[in-house]
Amino acid sequence: MSDFNDLVKILQEIDSKEEMVNFLNGILTPKEKEELVRRLDIVKMLKRGIPQHTIAQKLGVGVATVTRGSKEIQMGRFKTI
């Protein structure tokens, strides 16, 4: 049975944008892709200094979801975003 590290290894080995798109389209449902994009939007908006309540309202997510993104930023994640 695979674990998260197996997924990371596979993602690291993907060489092209086309291959990445094909892989993600094959492994994720449309809803899962939307959720990932929404989480990315949360991080981008937080990094621009937009208030958490505003982000939650604009993206239609709970404040707890936005707060989680904020905590991850505080832990030093998402430096490349």
For every one of its 81 residues, what pLDDT tens digit does the chain have, with 9 covering 90 and above? 889 999 999 999 999 999 999 999 999 999 999 999 999 999 999 999 999 999 999 999 999 999 999 999 999 999 999
The pLDDT of residue 47:
98
In a domain, 65, yes or no: yes
The pLDDT of residue 1:
86
Residue appearing with tokens 């490349």: 80
Provide DSSP, 46-76. HHTT--HHHHHHHHT--HHHHHHHHHHHHTT
The pLDDT of residue 67:
98
Angle (CA) 7-8-11 rounded to 5° is: 85
DSSP letter, residue 49: T
In a domain, 48, yes or no: yes
In a domain, 80, yes or no: no
| Length of the chain in terms of residues written | 81
The pLDDT of residue 39:
96
Look at the chain and report how many structural domains it folds into: 1
In a domain, 62, yes or no: yes
* CATH (domain of 48): 1.10.1270.10
Domain range enclosing 57: 4-75
d(CA 64, CA 52): 9
In a domain, 41, yes or no: yes
In a domain, 81, yes or no: no
d(CA 73, CA 6): 24
